[in-house]
Amino acid sequence: MSATLGVLLDSLGPELVRPVTLPRGTDVPVGGPVIYDPAEPPAGLEGAVLLAASRPSADVLPKLVEAGVAAVIVKSDDERWASAGTAVLRAAPEVSWGQLYTLIDALLAVAGPFGPGEPADLFTLANQIAARVGGAVAIEDLAMRILAYSTIEGQRIDDLRRDGILGRRVPEHPTHVEEYTAVLRSDGAIWSREPREFLPRLAIAVRARGEALGTIWAVEADRPLAPDAAEVLAEAAVAAAPHLARVNLDADEVRRRRTEQLGRLLRGLGPTEELAAAFGLPAGKPVTVVAISRGDHAVDAVYAGDLLRSAFAAYRVRAAAGAVDGRAYAIVSADSRAPLLHRITADALAQANERLGDGWRAGIGRSVPLVAVPESLRQAEAALRVLYSHLGRGDIGRHEDLAAPLLLLDVGTAMRELPALTGEPLARVTEHDRRHGTDYLHSLRAWIASHYDVPRAAEVLSLHPNTLRYRLRRIGELIDIDDPDTRLVLALQLRLRGDSHA
């Protein structure tokens, strides 16, 4: 473990986390973050940064120390913390546990010693730049992920920077494409004054051998940046290049290997148990496939896969997560109907909607043995297909809850090219409406959707019930709406043609 408690505190900054007690100082090595679960035994926590979302009882604290926990992060005041025997940090109340987990996880990916005479990590470099230019600094990769940021007290930031830090990614904004393109095309530092509602920024591209690796952004707040800020950023871009190259290379290699293994596991190719073990999935226990997507926005799948991985890891739920073929997946060691699975999936969707734009949906397959993962995959994708169709309701769908719309989709696909789908009896009503300017179809639709209850349908249509009865008699002169088969076919025709009210 290359990161220490001191690096953690310096990198997160006093606005997010402050020490309560440091019995062993700040040179304590730290490992990955773990959200505390009182139902789980305190095992496998060597070097962990424990996020105490649930307050540990007095008898558990010594066990956590014995388990080798490096630090406990809390949000409450408690006199027990002073004698806890391990480092205790207090987090700002407005920062969620999920955001803290993501920040610490990201920090560990980029922190650590690099080379003699060079800044120890990207966070140290960000602070050095900020001190020289006189404004808060962020270092990003090409996917607009914030790899590091400065934490110098007194340097003001705006909501765009704050939300980016908490979410590890710059929030979407219509001006970003133009602004980032301008920065990446420029040979030196340039000013970015969009979006207008936020503070101006001086930005520069980080390159190695002509290849863009990321960007550095300095915020101008209450005072102008230093006169030589552009030159400082140019020097910083040179210093940051090897760091970003290393981060990109490491991340690309890890992601490539994880994507390959995940793809094979999803498709049932290769030694299933061996592939599952690489992700920590236990053999002999059922798993469930979760698929999340934003329609055709495959470009965001990699980040969405990272969100899934972090979301399940934060709750210590074993999962193999990542992006394969433009879609994010997780193979989760949990039952498909478990409330926790639904909650974690909903959290990941909320983050994706916030960071990447609205429109994300999640399909959940059925729980299956490891060898049947491809079947759960097909079910998760089928659930997604329903959610994105006119039959979909909500943002999350379980395959086992979607039998009716799945059948309707299959029937609609099979009949798509057949004239029966738009033919009689529906065609007689639509033709009458076209010729005579009536709106019988609208009345018919409301009547069917109200389960043939005239008073209820009349209320939906804002009509008197007798008026609707008269219309139905007129429709009955065109088609036999008292016949059960005719009613069934009409309902199917309306539903399969994309009418969400039928």
In the predicted structure, residue 118 carries a pLDDT above the cut 80: no
Helix axes 484-496, 426-436, angle to 10 degrees: 70
**β 49-51/71-74 pair status:** parallel
Lowest mean per-residue pLDDT among 82-96, 325-339, 349-363: 82-96
What are the tens digits of pLDDT across the range 223-265? 999 999 999 999 999 988 888 877 766 666 666 778 888 999 9
User: Does pLDDT of 117 surpass 50?
Assistant: no
Q: How much is the average pLDDT of 113-127?
A: 63
On the question of pLDDT at 169 being above 70, the answer is: yes
Asked if residue 39 has pLDDT above 70, the reply is: no
**What is the structure's pLDDT at 116?**
39
Give pLDDT, residue 114.
Answer: 42
Cβ–Cβ under 8 Å, residues 158 and 199: yes
pLDDT at 188: 92
Distance CA 206, CA 213 (A): 6
Q: Is the pLDDT of residue 149 over 70?
A: yes
Higher pLDDT, 213 or 57: 213
E strand or H helix that includes residue 437:
none
Domains present along the chain, CATH in parentheses? 5-110 (3.40.1390.20), 122-248 (3.30.450.40), 269-414 (3.30.70.270), 419-496 (1.10.10.2840)
Q: Could you tell me the two tokens for 31?
A: 């490992």
Among 303-307, 311-315, 332-336, 418-422, the minimum mean pLDDT is found in: 418-422
The whole-number pLDDT of residue 235 equals: 92
Is the backbone of residue 27 left (phi > 0), alpha (psi -120 to 50) or beta? alpha
- Evaluate if residue 373 carries a pLDDT over 90: yes
Concatenated DSSP letters of 81-99: GGGSSSEEEEE-TTS-HHH
| Predicted confidence (pLDDT) at residue 382 exceeds the cutoff of 80 | yes
What does the pLDDT read at residue 72?
87
Structure confidence at residue 434 (pLDDT): 85
4-8, 262-266, 358-362, 369-373: range with lowest mean pLDDT: 4-8
Whose tokens are 């005239």? That residue is 454
Listed range (74-88, 244-258, 281-295, 296-310) with the worst mean pLDDT? 244-258
pLDDT attached to residue 115: 43
393: tokens are 């309701």
Closest CA to 127 of 43, 27, 214, 239: 239
pLDDT band at 500 (very low <50, low <70, confident <90, very high): very low
Average pLDDT, the chain: 83
According to the model, what pLDDT value does residue 501 have? Answer: 41
**Over 50: is that where the pLDDT of 357 sits?**
yes
Which of 39-43, 98-102, 110-114 shows the highest mean pLDDT? 98-102
- Per the CB < 8 A criterion, the answer to whether 144 and 180 are in contact is yes
pLDDT at 356 over 60: yes
161 versus 201: the higher-pLDDT residue is: 201
Asked if pLDDT for residue 325 goes beyond 60, the answer is: yes
End-to-end CA distance of the chain: 59
Sheet holding 49-51, edge to edge: 17-21, 87-91, 71-74, 49-51, 33-35
DSSP 401: G
Pairing of strands 288-293, 361-364: antiparallel
Of 245, 145, 147, 142, nearest in space to 184 by CA: 142
Enter the DSSP assignment of 333.
Answer: S
Whole-model pTM: value is 0.57
DSSP-derived 3-state class of residue 74: strand
Residue range 416-442: mean pLDDT, rounded: 79
pLDDT at 200: 92
Q: How many residues does the chain have?
A: 502
Condensed to tens digits (0 to 9), the pLDDT of residues 50-108 reads: 888 777 666 677 777 888 888 888 887 777 666 777 888 888 888 878 778 877 876 77
Lowest pLDDT segment from 70-84, 127-141, 309-323: 70-84
pLDDT at 329 over 50: yes
| pLDDT > 70 in the chain, percent | 89
Distance separating alpha carbons of residues 291 and 116, to the nearest angstrom: 44
